[in-house]
Homo-oligomer: A and B are copies of this chain.
Amino acid sequence: MRSLTEHRDLILADLAPLPARPVRVTESLGLVLAADVMARVDLPGFDNSAMDGYAVRAADLAGASATSPVALPVDADIAAGDTTRHSLAPGHAMRIMTGAPLPDGADAIVPVEESDGGTGEAMLTLAAEVGRHVRSRGEDVRAGSVVLRAGQRIGPGHLALAAAANVDQVMAHPRPRVAIFSTGDELRPVGSELSFGQIVDSNGVMLAALVRAADAELVSLGHLDDDVDAVRALVHPVPGDPDLLLTTGGVSMGAYDTVKEVLSRGGVEFVKVAMRPGMPQGAGRVGPDRTPILTLPGNPVSSLVSFHVFVLPALRRLAGLDPWAVGSFEAAAAVGWPSIGGRVDCTRVVVGTDGLRPSGGQGSHQLGAMAEATALALVPAEVDRVVAGRVLTCLPLLGTTRG
């Protein structure tokens, strides 16, 4: 059997960050830059006032104080957004608002709190220093300078900086586009009347939510019967032209495991991976566009586990992110529990203040127990019993971490 890490590494080795393309800066939060970003304007774009108050020549206010105010005639009001270039005569002042352009000749701002607020003439009570409350053109960022670097993941501050620097598009690795198809004649959409032998297709619903939570884009979501022609048709070409195709079901030892039957002849390798749950896995490329595909087992618990250990790293690789930096953490077992041994046991656990506890029955069909889990504890293959206190590497379940 192939080890979990070996299978994951083979999946990742076949994937590269998606080709960079121009992305509107408004849509760029969380993406990884593929090229440096250069400011198109100075920041600030012009000398401007940091306060609401009066633009003055500092020399005109020598010795001014609360007890000895200086009166200056007020020649103009300058609002933020005023596109006139004003010019301040010696011995005069102009009212000015925060962010408004400094008039030529002015070299300091007296805050309105240090005045009588006058509009025709103002009594100013502060001896302003040159440059006081003035933001100089380009003091924060120079036009043409690199403000963001290729490889950076765009956070909210980066986004605000790029926008302020008048950059409306950046070159970035786009969000991966994902198609999901569940297979199995027994599956019915949620809310259907179920006949004997039928079950709800919960995998499609769950994976769709996880794909969106991973900041990827869902381009198609569907269901296939266990039918050779249906599986063949799926990949010629893959609907929605996704960057990654996910299937669930049809990959085991059964006589109706059609996904395996059809795709093993067409570019997908099906293997047993030394893990529980989720042993039967497939990975490869299909269709005329050589679309990357991961075929996940059909059990809902196996599907959830496979998403976190294989699909999420694959999506991160495609997005240009570190594929394995998914917030894994170490924590100690609060209680002991049996493990399968010989395979990595992906135990669904609740992370409490005292450590890790299995969230309940660990059968791959046991959704009731799975529901409460907030993480997967990866019990190494050489361990056949977790003892209380043992430290395990854990993966947080996507969508459970924000409290």
- Cβ of A138 to closest chain B Cβ, rounded Å: 11
Binary flags per residue of A67-110, CB closer than 8 Å to B gives 1, else 0: 00000000001011111110000000001011111000000000
* Segment among A5-13, A229-237, A337-345, A393-401 that sits at the interface with chain B: A393-401
Query: Residue A130 at the B interface, CB < 8 A?
Result: no
* Segment among A238-246, A287-295, A358-366, A377-385 that sits at the interface with chain B: A358-366
Query: Residue A321 at the B interface, CB < 8 A?
Result: yes
Cα of A99 to Cα of B197 in the assembled complex, Å? 9
Binary flags per residue of A170-197, CB closer than 8 Å to B gives 1, else 0: 0000000000000011110011101111
Residue of B nearest to A321 (CB): B403
Q: Is the CB of A156 within 8 A of B226?
A: no
Known contacts: A30-B399, A209-B26. The answer to whether A148 contacts B254 by CB under 8 A is no
Query: Residue A141 at the B interface, CB < 8 A?
Result: yes
Query: Residue A371 at the B interface, CB < 8 A?
Result: yes
* Segment among A57-65, A121-129, A198-206, A263-271 that sits at the interface with chain B: A198-206
Q: Is the CB of B164 within 8 A of A81?
A: no
Query: Residue A18 at the B interface, CB < 8 A?
Result: no
Task: Specify which chain B residues have a CB less than 8 angstroms from the CB of A185 in the assembled complex.
Answer: 79-82
Q: Is the CB of B79 within 8 A of A256?
A: yes
Cα of A398 to Cα of B374 in the assembled complex, Å? 21
Q: Is the CB of A156 within 8 A of B52?
A: no
Residue of B nearest to A400 (CB): B155
Contact among B140, B192, B365, B399 for A44, CB-based, below 8 A:
B365
Task: Specify which chain B residues have a CB less than 8 angstroms from the CB of A194 in the assembled complex.
Answer: 41, 45, 166
Query: Residue A372 at the B interface, CB < 8 A?
Result: yes
Query: Residue A286 at the B interface, CB < 8 A?
Result: no
Q: Is the CB of B25 within 8 A of A160?
A: no
Cα of A184 to Cα of B201 in the assembled complex, Å? 51
Query: Residue A228 at the B interface, CB < 8 A?
Result: no
Q: Is the CB of B197 within 8 A of A147?
A: no
Task: Specify which chain B residues have a CB less than 8 angstroms from the CB of A167 in the assembled complex.
Answer: 190-191
Query: Residue A332 at the B interface, CB < 8 A?
Result: no
Q: Is the CB of A209 within 8 A of B164?
A: no
Q: Is the CB of B147 within 8 A of A371?
A: yes
Contact among B77, B156, B226, B366 for A255, CB-based, below 8 A:
B77
Contact among B26, B82, B195, B199 for A205, CB-based, below 8 A:
B26
What 18 new A-B contacts, CB under 8 Å, besides A84-B197, A140-B361, A156-B398? A26-B205, A30-B399, A30-B402, A79-B226, A81-B186, A85-B196, A95-B255, A100-B186, A101-B196, A153-B403, A155-B397, A157-B397, A164-B200, A164-B202, A164-B300, A164-B367, A169-B191, A327-B402
Q: Considering the complex of A and B, which 6 residue pairs feature the smallest CB-CB distances, nearest first?
A: A81-B185, A81-B186, A168-B191, A325-B403, A163-B202, A29-B209
